[in-house]
Amino acid sequence: MRLKLCLISALLLSLAISANAQNNEPWYHSTTIYQIYPRSYYDSNGDGIGDLPGIIQKLDYIKSLGYETIWLSPFYKSPQVDFGYDISDYTDIAPEYGTLADAQKLIDETHKHGMKIVFDMVMNHTSDQHPWFKESMSSRTNPKADWYIWADKPNHWSSQIRGTGWHYCKERNQYFWASFLPFQPDLNYRNPAVKKAMFDACRFWLAKGVDGFRLDMINSIYKDSLLRNNTASRRAVARSPETKKYRSTIKGSLNQPETFEFAKELRAVCDSFGDRMLLGEVYGTHPVVKEFLGGQKNNGLGLVFNFEMLRFHYNAKYFSKLVANLEKDFPAPYSPVYVFSNHDRRRSMKRLKDDMARAKLLHVFQLTTRGVSCMYYGEEIGMSDLQIPYKDALDPIGQKYKKVPRWLSELFDETLNRDDLRTPMQWDNSANAGFSTSAKTWLPVNPNYMQINAKTEVKDENSLLLEIQALLLLHKRNKVLHDGSLELIPKQPHGVLAYKRKLNDQEVIVILNFSKKPKEVKLSGTPNSLYQIHKTDKYDAGTVHLSALGAMILGK
Ligand code: GLC
């Protein structure tokens, strides 16, 4: 570790640059994001549930690791059927998480720690317990009668998790549309009052200083105005014949052109408060994704997730293709988002077969590519999924599907019980992994916490946590890693991925060996070693020697 830090210091001295101080790119185009699922992060009052004061207590930890931005999954008032993704009041806090004053304190304290904070905005739907929906469903004539999507007869669209998205309401003798689960009715953005109400909710938080939003299911905001059946497939997310993979297409309930305009309007709302981030949950590929970014003018969301990589294959060929596609489809000033874990899909560690060495290499890749890196809480210590039986599932998806239907496994992979990947953060090796003093935590703690926990890893010079800390520091302090261009270096030995980051006269070369065999790579010039995973990775007289799963970052 000392070696790594000393190399980093050398780099800092040689480049002596403070990130983003001298460029016009918005800060969020190259930030590093740490996603927190509040319910599972830190329980400050002993009720078995994580809360906002708990997050405030852990800001020093997040800061010490070097993340620049925190994204919080929802903590607004909610019946918690989908654990906050079903909101019943956008400008209040669920009591188990704290108060409005705690939210304000969290924003202010994050800023005092020199970090940014973005909240999750669930605009597509509310909870069915939201007063807007209660009113809307009460009759066909009430003032909010058309705040949601109502039809006399369902069309053939299916919800994003299969099955019809139309649900009968006897008070109106009509059906309402829900893109996700039945208790999450979709709002009707064709009514200007709805848009205004939701933009006002955003303004409420922007005025409190929040640095932007992650936008839940933003691709579903508008539906076809005539609710016409889809011509080809019922599926909201259709299978593309060319790629044999799921891709977003223009369907009646997804990716409507009005949604692209909506993205621009929301950008304008944010811009009126300064430089605020918008990060959209938009699965799919070019060119639909580009529309969300604002097309040629790039005046839309600014950032979108590419969820293909949550199901990554761990080999050089896969990552090389991923980078090549992103660089081709989203060249600067667009900025790709690299994400390998979140609160909906298997943790990357599970996919890596719980192999720390593989995880280290994955994160060298993630933190040296061009764009934004987004990590899920616990990813920094190598937390893995805990298999919780479907019969005990609290997650509404886990409850709905007792096992993964084959068609859905392509989207969600092997688990549909998202509880598995939302277990409490593993802080130390005391009871409940130091997450809570309660006898019972809302989800069980993964028993591997005795070995996998933050406190142990801080002291272990070979830990993933210290590796990520060193990489975040390297990334943070070096403008070339923040803002430099990226070019793949072709013709590498089998299993090796190499690329160059360049900014003016600064150049950094990254060489990653995804294979289990040592590799040698020829490199011209006399680059300085800036970083390596293993002591045995070295540059010597024109050749880079990499051990199995080794990596080097070299500067010129
Ligand atoms: C998004 C969220 C997921 C939630 C769903 C409904 O996909 O990431 O957690 O269940 O939307 O809001």
Q: 317-346 pLDDT, tens per residue? A: 999 999 999 999 999 999 999 999 999 989
Is residue 306 situated within a structural domain?
yes
Give the pLDDT band of residue 252 (cuts 50, 70, 90): confident
Range of the domain at 171: 126-186
Q: Which atom of ligand 1 is nearest to the CA of 82?
A: 10
Residues 167 and 261 in one domain: no
Residues 116 and 253 in one domain: yes
Does the beta carbon of 282 sit less than 6 angstroms from any atom of ligand 1? no
Domain boundary among 454, 475, 496: 475
Distance in Å, CA 526 to ligand 1 centroid: 49
Exposed e or buried b for every residue in 507-530, given b needs 16+ CB within 10 A? bbbbbbbbbeeebebebeeebebb
Alpha-carbon distance 481 to 254, whole Å?
35
pLDDT at position 389 over 60:
yes
Is residue 543 situated within a structural domain?
no
Is residue 526 situated within a structural domain?
no
pLDDT at position 142 over 90:
yes
Q: Which atom of ligand 1 is nearest to the CA of 122?
A: 12
**In this structure, are residues 396 and 422 in contact, taking their beta carbons and an 8 Å threshold?**
no
Ligand 1, atom 4, residue with closest C-alpha? 85
Closest CA to 518 of 556, 546, 482: 546
Residues 107 and 147 in one domain: no
Alpha-carbon distance 230 to 155, whole Å?
9
Residues 173 and 252 in one domain: no
Residue 160: count of CB within 10 angstroms of its CB: 20
Give the pLDDT band of residue 78 (cuts 50, 70, 90): very high
Is residue 506 situated within a structural domain?
no
**In this structure, are residues 205 and 119 in contact, taking their beta carbons and an 8 Å threshold?**
yes
395 is catalytic: no
Alpha-carbon distance 477 to 2, whole Å?
18
Position 529 scores a pLDDT of 86
Is residue 137 situated within a structural domain?
yes
Residues 181 and 282 in one domain: no
Position 11 scores a pLDDT of 45
Distance in Å, CA 41 to ligand 1 centroid: 18
Is residue 44 situated within a structural domain?
yes
Is residue 414 situated within a structural domain?
yes
* Structural domain total, the chain: 2
DSSP-derived secondary structure letter, 181: -
Residues 70 and 46 in one domain: yes
Closest CA to 70 of 112, 127, 122, 126: 112
pLDDT at position 247 over 60:
no
Domain boundary among 186, 214, 229: 186
| Beta strand ranges found along 302-454 (DSSP E) | 302-304, 337-339, 372-376
Residues 241 and 171 in one domain: no
Residues 103 and 67 in one domain: yes
Domain boundary among 475, 498, 520: 475
Residues 371 and 395 in one domain: yes
Residues 55 and 168 in one domain: no
Q: Choosing from 51, 86, 120, 216, which is the catalytic residue?
A: 216
Q: What is the mean pLDDT of residues 424-450?
A: 98
Q: pLDDT tens across 453-466, in order?
A: 999 999 999 999 99
CATH number, domain with residue 182:
3.90.400.10
Residues 248 and 177 in one domain: no
CATH number, domain with residue 463:
3.20.20.80
**In this structure, are residues 398 and 386 in contact, taking their beta carbons and an 8 Å threshold?**
no
Q: How many CA atoms are closer than 13 Å to the CA of 344, on its beta-carbon side?
A: 16
pLDDT at position 235 over 80:
no
Residues 331 and 448 in one domain: yes
pLDDT at position 246 over 60:
no
Q: Quote the percentage of the chain above a pLDDT of 70.
A: 90
